[in-house]
Amino acid sequence: MALLEILIYPDPRLRKKAPAVETVDRKISTLVDDMAQTMYAAPGIGLAATQVNVQQRVVIIDLSEERNQLQVFINPLISDAEGSIETEEGCLSLPGIVAPITRHEHIRVCALDREGKPFETAVTGLLAICLQHEVDHLDGKVFTDHLSRLKRDRIRKRLVREAKEGPPAPTRENSLVI
Ligand code: NI
């Protein structure tokens, strides 16, 4: 396994739209392992391949306290989105930034698991929020895209300044870093 470098916004590579994984092979399996190691080390509760500069539709999430229940979504497709829920979101690619974002509370997702087997499930609450956040990454979006232009610009400038000046502030502990 290897620790991967996480791209920091406004890195233009975070704006690339990832194509679907064609074959779930050993390369994808290694990517999942490396992404998991990177996410746990960060630490975060979710990570999209886009964030480690791999243009493939691969998402991992672990919401467990013990950090031992990795969920893998390859080519995730969200449907039947319903309800709305607002949460303070953070992101490994926007260190130190937290903002309230409104997302659907209930979704259906179909995806491939790490063996390439298709599955479909209804998800709600925190997992639904994380999946929407991560699928945004695969589409070249970050969570601040959901904010007003003014707030977005302010956050972008702050991250650019912090990148020059030194290590960014840690994200508040009680927020979701996805
Ligand atoms: Ni994120």
- 26-53 residue pLDDT tens: 999 999 999 999 999 999 999 999 999 9
Active site residues: 134
Residues of the chain above pLDDT 70, percent:
96
Q: What average pLDDT does this structure show over 145-166? A: 93
**With 70 as the cut, is the pLDDT of residue 103 above it?**
yes
pTM for this prediction: 0.95
Residue 84 pLDDT grade (very low, low, confident, very high; cuts 50, 70, 90): very high
Fold of 12-165: Peptide Deformylase (3.90.45)
Give, for 33, the enclosing helix (H) or strand (E): helix 26-41
Q: Ligand 1 mean position to 90 CA, how many Å?
A: 7
Strands 106-112 and 71-82: antiparallel
User: Token pair for residue 43?
Assistant: 């630490």
Taking the alpha carbons of 39, 153, 126, 54 in that order, is the dihedral positive or negative? negative
> Do 70 and 42 meet the contact criterion of CB atoms below 8 Å apart?
no
Q: Ligand 1 mean position to 135 CA, how many Å?
A: 9
66: left (phi over 0), alpha (psi -120 to 50) or beta: alpha
The whole-number pLDDT of residue 173 equals: 63
Q: Ligand 1 mean position to 170 CA, how many Å?
A: 15
